[in-house]
Structure 1
Amino acid sequence: MERLNFKHTVPIQLRFNDFDALGHVNNSVYFSFYDLGKTTYFKDVIPNMSSNKEVGVVIANIQVNFILPVYPNENVAVQTAVVEIGNKSFKLFQQLIDVDTNEVKCICQTVMVGFDAKTKATRTISDEWKKAMIDFEGRGDLVKAV
């Protein structure tokens, strides 16, 4: 993957219970960090996103690669970018970085799918969402032909 220019970063506050017996952040905790990154990304990128809980997006696939451990007192943040938009789905790329050293600690690739909870079926990603993500990322090449 080409080097991304991340436009969205969320600082992460490490908590005592994030750490395991080996003294580093437990692998399962990274998912909550990435969820926080996703939540704030959408809040910032699509501020008038409908609060309708019947229509939204769900995670269809998530892949995480753990690169370096995170230890107490490290200053970390999650960076998030949309890297591809299809008709009913889009791909996010996220990474957890050490803000002081710029080391990448972990990377995450997620496929999000439009979902209608009422019909329990996939749905197209709205033009409003597509435009908001394209405008935020400053990349007209995000939309992929399906």
Structure 2
Amino acid sequence: MKKYSIEDVRSSFSFSVPVQIRFSDIDGYMHVNNGVYFNYYEHARAAYLNQVCEWDIMKTGTVVANISIDYMVPVHLMDSLEVYVKCTHLGNTSFVLEQVLLGITEKGAAKIFSQAIVTMVSVDMQTMKPVPVPAHYALKLLAE
């Protein structure tokens, strides 16, 4: 997985969405539990597909085929977060999204908290079988 700098993220990702940290996200170690990051990334992917691609998931769905997360710095309750998303590869039925959880700590320091690579597969919602990524979505994924 490519390791991004804060400057790389801000200059090479054109889409981001803020994420609210909930009290229930905090575990016994007083930071966001590692499993909650999947929810943050899922929220950002859904927003990206909806806002950037105008993807109609009721017609052609998407499913996660693989996800890999690198954790760099723990997230705490008073940090502020944004998840950045971009498409880095487009195949026939699949595409790869890179995601970065970047934010400001309670003390005001900018940090990359984690990064993820997600392979998505487009599926027919009736059969749940893989189908080619529709051309009009593919163009929008590649335009980023």
Q: TM-score, normalised by structure 2?
A: 0.86
Choose from 28, 43, 47 the match for 1:40. Answer: 47
Indicate whether 1:121 and 2:123 are aligned.
no
> Which of residues 66, 72, 78 is equivalent to 1:67?
72
Q: State the identity %.
A: 28
Name stretches of at least 5 consecutive residues in structure 1 with no aligned partner: 138-146
1:1-146 maps to which residues of 2 (within 5 A)? 1=2, 3=8, 5-47=12-54, 49-52=55-58, 55-99=60-104, 100-135=108-143, 137=144
Question: Deviation string for 1:17-74 (max 9, x for gaps)?
Answer: 0000110000010011001100110111122x3252x521110001111111001211
Q: Which runs of 5+ in 2 are unaligned?
A: none
| Cα RMSD after superposing both structures | 1.6
Q: Distance in 1 between matches of 2:57 and 2:66?
A: 23
TM-score by length of structure 1 reads 0.85
User: Does the CA-based 8 Å contact 2:96-2:118 persist in structure 1?
Assistant: yes
Shift of 1:122: 0.8
Distance in 1 separating the partners of 2:116 and 2:66:
10
